[in-house]
């Protein structure tokens, strides 16, 4: 079995090449940022590296959900000049001027960050019709939620065995048991605290968010995250996790952590899917914690271990 490092390097190489190709082919994104309706999680049905589970393409970033975590491929487009000054970068939060419209002179500058879950359980693709596989808590499993009517077809190369037809699209991706008793949910929001350099000040533009769902009895301290590719990592005075990159700072916003009172008839699934619904929440103090090995975890205050904890 390959080590996690060799797996990471192979996946990262694939994702980096793929992301630059996608960025180069989608220069129109500057004039037409994606809307919440137009973005989805595209399932991997064999058209990409087998370690990839889903891909979503947002404004200025392609996010690859993998068996080990998420690879964020950030990119900016700039004019091809002898010296790429900061003034040359396209401002994604405003309509480009005619002279700055995307053309063949535009170049791509990128930065890849791999958010990797250290010590995560081995991933297994499951048959959702088999109850024993659904209930297996020793391996992580993925599930697309809110399937869309639209689908994609991928006819790559001349080998038909590598083609993928009727590739489904989803509005959410849910990975169960990424750690024992801990799930991670990926979804889109227009009010996210997670901001890429090109997404700042873009009101109404959707962002990728993720929640950790810690089930009763699970150990929160299992979660350890490393950010491969970041120039530096720190927690600022506002409680934000700040990653420095060649494109600027990327911020994971201050945490909102809570529990719901399921004894009063509130459902965890309803809570996750109906965010605007009136709910009874108990907010829990929680903050990012940087370990001595450079990984990042969470330090929570007192909470009821018999109830589900959600780190948003």
**Stretch 34-51: mean pLDDT:** 86
Q: 274: phi > 0 → left, psi -120 to 50 → alpha, else beta; which?
A: beta
Structural domain spans, the chain: 4-311
Whether the pLDDT of residue 131 is over 80: the answer is: no
Around 275, how many Cα atoms within 13 Å sit in the side-chain half-sphere?
9
- Residue 17 predicted with pLDDT over 60: no
297-301 contacts at long range (C-beta below 8 A, 24 or more positions apart) = 297/221, 297/223, 297/224, 297/225, 298/212, 298/220, 298/223, 298/255, 298/257, 300/220, 300/257
What pLDDT sits at residue 134?
Answer: 57
Range in 21-30, 53-62, 113-122 the model is least confident about: 21-30
pTM: 0.77
Averaging pLDDT over each range in 89-93, 103-107, 137-141, 213-217, which range is the top one? 213-217
Confidence of residue 90 (pLDDT cuts 50, 70, 90): very low
Stronger pLDDT, 24 or 251, i.e. the higher one: 251
Q: What is the pLDDT of residue 225?
A: 97
Q: What is the pLDDT of residues 284-300, one digit of tens each?
A: 999 999 999 999 999 99
């Amino acid at each position: 079995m390959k080590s996690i490092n060799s797996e990471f390097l192979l996946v990262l190489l694939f994702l980096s090449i793929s992301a630059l190709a996608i960025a180069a082919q989608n220069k129109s994104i500057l004039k037409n940022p994606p809307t919440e309706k137009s973005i989805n999680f595209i399932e991997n049905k064999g058209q990409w590296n087998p370690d990839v589970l889903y891909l979503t393409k947002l404004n200025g970033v392609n996010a690859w959900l993998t068996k080990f975590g998420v690879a964020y491929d950030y990119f900016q487009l700039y004019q091809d000049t002898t010296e790429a000054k900061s003034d040359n970068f396209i401002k994604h939060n405003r309509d480009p001027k005619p002279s700055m419209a995307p053309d063949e002179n535009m170049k791509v500058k990128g930065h890849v960050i791999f958010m990797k879950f250290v010590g995560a359980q081995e991933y297994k693709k499951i048959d959702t019709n088999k109850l024993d596989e659904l209930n297996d808590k020793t391996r992580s499993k993925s599930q697309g939620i809110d399937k869309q009517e639209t689908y994609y077809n991928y006819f790559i190369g001349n080998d038909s065995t590598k083609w993928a037809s009727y590739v489904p699209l989803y509005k959410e991706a849910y990975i169960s048991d990424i750690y024992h008793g801990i799930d991670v949910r990926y979804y889109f929001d227009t009010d996210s605290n997670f901001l890429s350099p090109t997404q700042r000040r873009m009101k109404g533009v959707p962002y990728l968010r993720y929640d950790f769902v810690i089930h009763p009895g699970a150990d929160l301290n299992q979660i350890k995250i490393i950010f491969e590719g970041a120039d530096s990592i720190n927690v600022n005075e506002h409680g934000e996790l700040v990653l420095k990159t060649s494109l600027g700072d990327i911020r994971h916003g201050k945490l909102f952590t809570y529990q719901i009172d399921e004894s009063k008839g509130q459902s965890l699934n309803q809570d996750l899917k109906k965010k605007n619904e009136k709910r009874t929440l108990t907010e829990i103090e929680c903050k990012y914690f940087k370990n001595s090995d450079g990984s990042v975890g969470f330090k929570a205050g007192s909470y009821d271990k018999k109830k589900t904890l959600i780190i948003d």
